Amino acid sequence: MHILVDFLATTAVANMTIGNLLMLVVGMIFISLAIRKDYEPLLLVPIGFGCIVGNIPSIASMAVGVYDQGSVLSYIYFGVSQGIFPPLIFLGIGAMTDFSTMLSSPRLVLLGAAAQMGIFLTLIGALYLGFSPAEAGAIGIIGGADGPTAIFLAAKLAPHLLGAIAIAAYSYMALVPVIQPPIMKLLTTRKERLIRMKPPREVSQREKIIFPIVAFLICALIAPASVGLIGMLFFGNLLKESTVTERLANTARTALIDIVTILLGFSVGCSTQAQTFLTPESILIFGLGALSFAVATACGVLFAKFMNLFSKNKINPLVGAAGVSAVPDSARVVQMIGQQEDPNNYLLMHAMAPNVAGVIGSAVGAGILWSVLVG
């Protein structure tokens, strides 16, 4: 009989806390949002189910959870905690990204740079709230609006906040169509929103081949800590644009990125155990995450208006909001807001330029923060 009693003490039911129950509900909500509302399903289904798996409590002597040495989940989580998965995702992103709109309008790259202000102003906000510099850096990168970059930097600087930072980053990326429009309309006049831009020029294949090599060298020589992310991004792009490695590019943007997304999403979800996720810091992180997106949007739009003071060919300031590198959602938002004023104003391709430049900018920003704040 005592065996049965001892066994009952090891069940998850006996060890369940209110926090675990709450996180089980959160996981189910994520899955529900993904399936019913089509809310970033490729991320929220793995994260949501991982959340459910990670919040089934086990006894201390059993290595089951993601933080337990030697457990299966810990081996999968190794790819997150050691920063392996994010560069592999960047390889796939590079293999599916078309930089030609950026190549045809180099000045729009600066809008991608301006939007990275969201990272550093959020860092200041996090310091003000009492986070350590390393934690503030990991929280600030949410403003880069790049999931893999946020996970990469959080794993390096503040692994205990990784769950909250990852959930915040991906949640706000999905909320870009909600967060950005009011800010874009507040900071622009109707006349500005009606600006039509010159169509982008044709870009030669040779430009598309040389660009990833030289751009990588520029970014890596300035911020070598970003080599992992930037290197894989441009390597993937070269695989695509060289036209002689189409098989590899196809694998990178399909099977490889899908496998890594499954493992990364699931293990990040498993890491959101109630004991580490349901804390006051998580609430602050979510608040700072919203602020970071808003600030990044505002900085991109305002910088576009600033550039117009010196440009004969005006930039539609809405395009600045696409510097928030939630590709391609923020570019789609720009298109939508522009078409609300003028249905024949097609801003999507123009917006893709700062959109992809923002990916590069956020990866460089992550490299800078890692090199300065590590240790």
Partner 1 sequence: MHAISFSFNYQNIIAGQGFQLAFAGMTIVFTALVLVSIFIALLPKVLVVLNRLIPEVHHHTAAPKQRETSDETAIAAAIGFALHTQQQPR
What residues line the site for partner 1 (CB under 8 A)?
102-103, 106-107, 109-110, 112-113, 116-117, 119-121, 123-124, 127-133, 136-137, 160, 204-207, 210-211, 214-215, 218-219, 222-223, 243-244, 246, 275-276, 279-281, 284, 357, 360-361, 364-365, 368-369, 372
No. of helices (H) and no. of strands (E), the chain = 22, 0
- Is residue 90 within 8 Å of 366, Cβ to Cβ? no
Query: Residue for token digits 């298109």?
Result: 335
Quote the least distance from Cβ 192 to partner 1, whole Å.
22
- Distance separating alpha carbons of residues 328 and 98, to the nearest angstrom: 11
Assigned token pair, 325: 């590198």
59: phi then psi, degrees, rounded to nearest 5: -80, 160
Using the minimum distance from each CB to partner 1, give the nearer residue, 131 or 235.
131
Using the minimum distance from each CB to partner 1, give the nearer residue, 45 or 233.
233
Using the minimum distance from each CB to partner 1, give the nearer residue, 87 or 212.
212
- Distance separating alpha carbons of residues 28 and 88, to the nearest angstrom: 28
Using the minimum distance from each CB to partner 1, give the nearer residue, 62 or 218.
218
Quote the least distance from Cβ 152 to partner 1, whole Å.
16
Q: How far is CA 238 from CA 66, 256, 344, in A?
A: 35, 16, 34
Sequence-ordered list of residues with C-beta below 8 angstroms from that of 28, at least 6 positions apart, any chain: 48, 52
Burial of 250 (0-12, 13-18, 19+ CB in 10 A): middle
Using the minimum distance from each CB to partner 1, give the nearer residue, 28 or 227.
227
Quote the least distance from Cβ 202 to partner 1, whole Å.
11
Quote the least distance from Cβ 64 to partner 1, whole Å.
19
Using the minimum distance from each CB to partner 1, give the nearer residue, 151 or 248.
248
- Distance separating alpha carbons of residues 46 and 32, to the nearest angstrom: 12
Quote the least distance from Cβ 217 to partner 1, whole Å.
9
Quote the least distance from Cβ 1 to partner 1, whole Å.
38
Q: How far is CA 64 from CA 54, 60, 99, 139, 260, in A?
A: 9, 9, 43, 28, 21
Using the minimum distance from each CB to partner 1, give the nearer residue, 11 or 246.
246
- Distance separating alpha carbons of residues 142 and 152, to the nearest angstrom: 11
Using the minimum distance from each CB to partner 1, give the nearer residue, 27 or 112.
112
- Distance separating alpha carbons of residues 109 and 354, to the nearest angstrom: 5
Quote the least distance from Cβ 9 to partner 1, whole Å.
25
- Distance separating alpha carbons of residues 103 and 91, to the nearest angstrom: 20
Quote the least distance from Cβ 245 to partner 1, whole Å.
9
